[in-house]
Structure formats: structure tokens, C-alpha cells
Structure 1
Amino acid sequence: MIDDFVAGDLSDVEEAIRKAAAAEIMPRYRQLAAHEIVEKTGPHDLVTTADRQAEEHLTASLTALLPGSVVVGEEAVHADPAVYDALRGDAPVWIVDPVDGTRQFVHGDPGFCTLVALAEHGKVLASWTYAPVRDDMATAVRGRGARLNGEPLRAGSPGPDAVLRVAMSHPDYTTPDQKRALLGLNVDGVDARPCGSAGLEYLSVARGDLDGVAFSWENAWDHAAGLLLVEEAGGTDVTVAGERFRIAGGNTLPFTSARTDAVARRIRALLTA
């Protein structure tokens, strides 16, 4: 059934995402009250009423579109970590980050997005990245390419002598080993900076505006949509162990997603130096 669903017209999914953003996120953009913002694990890990309400909205609408499917959402997993186990189950899984870049959203910055991916047996089959302030919708379907607002997306490749532009995890939020690995990017020929919204950084790679990302955490809701988007735009991903990233977890970190295989190999070499 999921094969038929993915092979069909997926515009209903886009519409569900737009409706959730219009109903639950944008009315609260730059309008959040203090009581609508809560710290989860610390001052840099925030959740808002918009996150929770948008995830509930998407959970209802997406499972209605694909009966028998389940949702692994950031806020549901925070409430019950066992929800994450669905990524290793047999049912089709919607992977949802209702507001990717919550810190930016709280500060009134437009650099946030809604991420949705559809996966089965650990493989991402389709993905949606929606930046509601700009009304940008990036989509990818495995084997059918990537698009931004309906136009084909191609990551392209950097020039032979170009400085590589890389967005990476902030070293302050990494383990000592991961921090040492990320410091490998501080070399001539690489312009590395801390990342913003992971979903928008992946979109930048898929557009060719950024050469790669290097991340040290593996929450599926942050990566599933963007990894497929970059892959279908011509890019690839690899962990420091030389393996493709697994959305169900168990990856050796950090990992990179990049415009080309050559760029991915170069970033990996620097992370493992």
C-alpha cells in the first residue's frame, strides 16, 4: 500500500503541512507569550505551544492520509522515548519535526521550518521541508528527484579550488571526541560555521548554496527529510565510519551530508584526521 501511496499524487501531504503551519505556527510567530515557551533539557532546548499543537495537527492529518501509518514526532518522543522504536517496526512512519529551529522561532527569526519524512523499514521514501515565512516548500521522492516550489533542485558541485562552505554542530554541544572531530574542519580551504535550523541547512546543500553539513547528533526528525532532499538533488551522506546514515540510530558520529561524493569524502577525511 505504501508503494502505491508514494507513487501517487502527494499534494495532499503538502496541503496538510501548509494547513498545520497556518493554523498552529504562523499565528504564534512573533506573538508568543512567556508561558508558551518551555525549556526541555536546558536553555538551548526549547519547546513552544506552536511545536506541540502543530505536531498534534500533523499527527492527525498524516495518519488519516495513510491508514496504518504511525508518527515519530519530536515532542511525542520527548514525552515517551519508546515512540522512537516505531522506526524499527513494520508500519510506515511519518517522521515529524513541527518547528525545526525552535530557538530561531522563539526569537522571531524567520530561519525555521517544518520537516516531514515518510519512511518504511528504515528507508526514507519521501520528504517535505516547509519554510512558512518564505512559503518555500522543498520536496523529494526517492528515485524521482528533488524540487523547490515545483522546480527541480540540483546541488551541483563546487569549483576545483573553491573554499568549502560547511555548517556544523556547535562544538559546545558535543562530546569531547566529537568536538575533536569537528575541529578538523578548521583548516585552510574550509569555511565552517555553527548551523542554524538543520532542515534549512540541508535545503541550502540541495540548492548548492552550501557545500555540506557536519552533524554530531542523530535524531531522525532533524535529518530524515534533509538527507533524502540532498540525495535526490545529487548529493550523498557518510558517517565517520564510512557508512550511510541510518535514521533508526546506531550511527558513528559525526556524519556529513554534502553536494557530491567527493565533497563528502573530503569532509569525512577531515573529521577523521
Structure 2
Amino acid sequence: MIEKFLAGDLSDVEEAVRKAAAAEIMPRFRQLAAYEIVQKNGPHDLVTVADRLAEEHLTASLTTLLPGSVVVGEEAVHADPSVLGAVRGNDPVWIVDPVDGTRQFVHGDPGFATLVCLAHRGELLASWTYAPALDQMAIARRGGGAQLNGSPLHCGSPEPGRDLEVATSHFDFTDDEQKRVLATLLTDGVAPRPCGSAGLEYLHVAQGALDALAFSWENPWDHAAGLLLVAEAGGASATVANEPFRIAGGNALPFAAARDAATLRHILDLLASAGRP
């Protein structure tokens, strides 16, 4: 069934993502009341009514499009951590972040996105990265390339001699050890900065507008769509143990994604140096 579904044009999935954003996210952009914003795990980890309703909308529409599939969404996992186990199951799974960059959304910044990735038995098959406030829709299909608003995406390679621009885990979401490891990127030839929406940072790498990413957390809804997008645009990714990132978890962290293999190797070598005497 999954093979037959993937053989189609998948335009119904794109339409479902657009409809969820139009119905549940954009009407609330810059219109949120205080009671519609809740802290989850601290003052920087926010959830809004838009997150919850958009995920419910997508759960209904995506499972209808692909009968027998299941959804692993950020908000569902927050409510019931056992939901995450579906990424290790045999059913096709939609990995969903309804509003990636909720902090930006809450503050009226257009730099947020809806992320959807279809996976099966750990393999990333297709992804949708939609930034509704920016009118950007990036789509990737395993073996089929990546596009932004219908135009092909290519990571390319960084310009020789220029500092590598690297987005890293935001310090608001890292502990002291993670900060220590990420600090290895504060070196000549590298210009690190805190990330915004993870999904949009992956898009920036796929566009060739950002050279690399270095992340210290592994929530699949933050990374699945973007990892496939970068891969299909010609980029590369791996964990600090030089292993592929596994959406089921248990990864050696941090991990990185980059425009090309040479840039990835350089960033991973720097990160790995934190563990050397």
C-alpha cells in the first residue's frame, strides 16, 4: 500500500498541510490571546491552541489519505509519550510538528513552519516543510529530489575562504554540557549562531543560504522533514559518531547536516574534539 501511495503525485498531502495551516494557524497568527499560550517544560517551551488544533486537523486528514497509517505528532507525544513508539512500528507513520518555531509564532515573527514527514520502518520517504506566513512550500521525495515552490533545490558547496555559517541548538534549550560541545564551533573559519525554527534552518541549508546545522536534541518531528529535504537537495548529515541519524532515537549527539560532505566532516570533527583531551 505504501508503494502505491508514493507512486502518486502526493498533491493531496500538500493540500492537507495547506488547509490545516489556513484553518488553524494563520487565523491565530498575531491574534493569540494570553490564555491560548501555555508553557510546557519551561518559559521558552510554548504551546498554543494553534499547535493543538493544527495537529488534530492533520491527524484526521493524513490518516484518511493513507489508511492504516499513524501519526506521531509533537503535541500527542507530549500528552502521551508512548505515542512515540509508533516510529519503530511496521505501519507507515506521519511525523508532524504542527507549528515548528512556536516561540516565533507567539511573538508575531513569520519564521515558523508546519513540518510533515512520511516514514516507514525508519526510512524517510517524503516530506513537506510549509511556512505559511512566508508563502513557502518545500517538498522532498526519497530519490525524487527537493523543490521549493515548484523550483528545484540544490545545496551546492560553501564558497572557499568564507567563514562557514552554522545554526546551532539555541542556548535557551541546551544544558551546560551541550553548550560546552557546541562551543567547539567558536573557532576560526566558523560563524555559529542560535537556530530559529529548525525546519526552516534545514530549508536554508537545502537552499544553500546556510552552510550547516548542529543540533543537540533528537525529537523526530523537528528533524525528519528537514533531513530528507537536505539529503534530496544534495546535502549530507550524520551524528557525531559518524552514523546516520535514526528517527527512532538513541543517537550519539550532537548531530549535523551540511551542504556537502566536506563541510559535514569539518563540523563533526570540531564537535567530536570536545570529547578529546
- 1:184 aligns to what SS in structure 2? helix
Pairing 1:225–2:221 present: no
1:52 partnered with 2:52: yes
Asked whether 1:85 is paired with 2:85, we answer: yes
Task: Report the Cα distance in structure 2 between the residues aligned to 1:171 and 1:198, rounded to whole angstroms.
Answer: 14
1:173-201: CA deviation from partner (whole Å, max 9, x where unpaired): 32333222100000011110000000000
Q: After the TM superposition, which residues 187-206 of structure 1 pair with which residues of structure 2 at under 5 Å, given as runs?
A: 187-206=187-206
Asked if 1:8 corresponds to 2:8, the answer is: yes
Matched AA of 2:7 = A
User: Is residue 240–residue 252 contact of structure 2 (8 Å, CA) maintained in 1?
Assistant: yes
Paired letter, 2:87: L
State the match for 1:249 in structure 2. Answer: 249
What are the equivalent positions in structure 2 for 1:110-149 lying under 5 Å apart? Answer: 110-149=110-149
Aligned: 1:166 with 2:166:
yes
Alpha-carbon shift at residue 172 of structure 1 (Å)? 4.4
Which secondary structure state, in structure 2, belongs to the residue aligned with residue 272 of structure 1?
Answer: helix
| Structure 2 counterpart of 1:33 | 33
Q: Distance in 2 between matches of 1:126 and 1:228?
A: 7
**What SS is found at the alignment partner of 1:128?**
strand
Paired residue secondary structure (1:234): coil
CA distance in structure 2 between the partners assigned to 1:16 and 1:243 by the alignment: 33
Q: Which residue of 2 aligns with 1:236?
A: 236
**Do the aligned residues in 2 keep the contact of 1:171 with 1:182 (CA within 8 Å)?**
no
Q: CA deviation at 1:171?
A: 3.3
Moved more, 191-200 or 4-13: 4-13
Which residue type is aligned with residue 170 of structure 2? H
Q: Secondary structure at the match of 2:67?
A: coil
Determine the C-alpha separation between the residues in 1 that align with 2:78 and 2:223.
17
For 2:271, the equivalent position in structure 1 comes to 271
Q: Which runs of 4+ in 1 moved over 4 A?
A: none
Q: Following the alignment from structure 1 to structure 2, what is the Cα–Cα distance between the partners of residues 171 and 27? A: 31
Contact map agreement 1:117 1:224 (CA 8 A) in 2: yes
Give the corresponding residue for 1:182.
182
Q: Give the whole-Å Cα distance in 1 for the aligned partners of 2:211 and 2:151.
A: 20
Letter in 2 for 1:251: N
User: 2: distance between equivalents of 1:177 and 1:7?
Assistant: 45
Residue 7 (structure 1) shift = 1.8
**Deviation by residue 1:226-270 (Cα, 9 ceiling, x = unmatched):** 000000000010111110111110001000010001000000011
- Amino acid of the structure 1 residue aligned with 2:225: A
Are the structure 2 counterparts of residues 21 and 172 from structure 1 closer, same or farther at C-alpha, using a change threshold of 3 Å? closer
Q: Percent identity?
A: 73
Structure 2 residue matching 1:244: 3-state secondary structure: coil
Unaligned regions of 5+ residues in structure 1, if any?
none
1:109 lines up with 2:97 in the alignment = no
What's the TM-score once normalised by structure 1's chain length?
A: 0.99
One-letter identity of the residue aligned with 1:211: D
Conservation of the 8 A alpha-carbon contact between 1:167 and 1:192? yes
Q: Which residue of 2 aligns with 1:156?
A: 156
Equivalenced residue count is: 273
Quick one: which amino acid aligns to residue 59 of structure 1?
T
Q: Check the 8 A contact 1:206/1:259 in 2, yes or no.
A: yes
Distance in 2 of aligned mates of 1:98 and 1:129:
10
After superposition, the C-alpha distances for 1:61-103 in whole angstroms (9 at most, x for unaligned) are: 0000000000000000000000000000000000000000000
How far apart are the structure 2 equivalents of 1:258 and 1:176? 25
**Contact 1:116-1:127 at 8 Å conserved across structures:** yes
Residue 8 (structure 1) shift: 1.0
Distance 1:220 1:170 in 2: 17
- Deviations along 1:119-144, one digit per CA (max 9) or x if unpaired, are 00011100000000111100000000
Give the whole-Å Cα distance in 2 for the aligned partners of 1:13 and 1:172.
33
Compute the displacement of 1:160 (Å): 2.0
> Structure 1: which amino acid aligns with 2:70?
V
Letter aligned with residue 228 of structure 1: L
Mapped partners of 2:272, 2:130: distance in 1: 33
* 1:212 and 2:212 aligned: yes
The answer on whether the counterparts of 1:113 and 1:129 sit within 8 Å (CA) in structure 2 is yes
- Give the 3-state SS of the residue equivalent to 1:9 in structure 2: coil
